[in-house]
Amino acid sequence: SAVISQKPSRDICQRGTSLTIQCQVDSQVTMMFWYRQQPGQSLTLIATANQGSEATYESGFVIDKFPISRPNLTFSTLTVSNMSPEDSSIYLCSVGDGYEQYFGPGTRLTVT
Amino acid sequence: GQQLNQSPQSMFIQEGEDVSMNCTSSSIFNTWLWYKQEPGEGPVLLIALYKAGELTSNGRLTAQFGITRKDSFLNISASIPSDVGIYFCAGVPSSNTGKLIFGQGTTLQVKP
């Protein structure tokens, strides 16, 4: 399986600011995804990052709040914009072929 | 929306005991996956199932894809302290290929 890294691994941010999370894969992959895991909860899909086109967002998530870039087949970014304490979560990227998915280590975000 | 009901929510067992957890849905799934997440890490794929009735093992772990395609279970035999973590089921619904739906997780604690 692909090796996936995320930066930063954790951050503490003030409300109203934005944070960009990077996801790097060691091989080219077709599909990349971004998930949110709120404290003590399961994983919820935010969006599918499409290479060369706009991301596809799930219900309840919008581009203005979570802009995503996918400039090539090995890299993607997720920005959490205008943060509030409710955005405190683990943000995970994953890669897969639509069936098996492999996850990065996650970015632990705390908003104060 | 589609949901996966995972049970039990948590388990506290003695080292050496066997563990069983399951996941059910009202919808048909094409793929069932089982993940383990340890503190500070992303979920790690343990077992993937693709056919109704399929029984697959990975060391002390055994998982099955239910005949009805609406459920799956995971067994861990002879548990050891390093089995501690949160186990998530995930499935690819037949109506929405490519997107994973996650269960709520089973937290496993093992007493040495």
Tell me how long chain A is: 112
Q: Do B48 and A99 touch (CB under 8 A)?
A: yes
Around Cβ A27, how many Cβ atoms within 10 Å?
A: 11
pLDDT at residue A52 in the model: 85
Does A90 have pLDDT greater than 90?
yes
Instruction: Name the more confident of A31 and A4.
Output: A4
How far apart CA B6 and CA A42 sit, in angstroms, is 11
Distance, in Å, from the CA atom of B76 to the CA atom of B13, rounded to the nearest integer, reads 12
Q: Name B55's Cβ contacts closer than 8 Å, sequence gap at least 6.
A: B62, B63, B64, B65
State how far the Cα of A32 lies from the Cα of A25, in Å rounded to an integer.
Answer: 10
Q: Report the half-sphere exposure of A10 (CA within 13 A, side-chain side).
A: 6
Q: Considering only CB atoms, which residues of chain A are within 8 Å of chain B?
A: 1, 4, 31, 33, 41-45, 48, 59, 92, 94, 98-106, 108
A103: chain B residues, CB-CB within 8 Å = 35, 42-44
Given a contact cutoff of 8 angstroms between Cβ atoms, the answer to whether A9 and A108 are in contact is yes
Residues of B in contact with A4 (CB under 8 A): 42
pLDDT for residue B62: 98
Quick: pLDDT tens for B83-99. 999 999 999 988 876 78
A108 to chain B: which residues are within 8 Å by CB?
Answer: 40
User: Which residues are within 8 A (CB) of A7 and not within 5 positions of it... i.e. 6 or more apart?
Assistant: A21, A22, A24, A107
SS3 B83: helix
Nearest-Cα residue of chain B relative to residue A6: B42
Residue of A nearest to B29 (CA): A99
**Cβ-proximal residues to A48 (8 Å cutoff; 6+ apart), any chain:** A31, A32, A33, A55, A56, B98, B99
| Segment A56-80, tens digit of pLDDT | 999 999 999 999 999 999 999 999 9
Q: Identify the CA nearest to B99 among candidates A34, A63, A76.
A: A34
∠ CA A62-A97-A72, rounded to 5°:
65
The reply to whether B41 touches chain A by the CB within 8 Å rule is yes
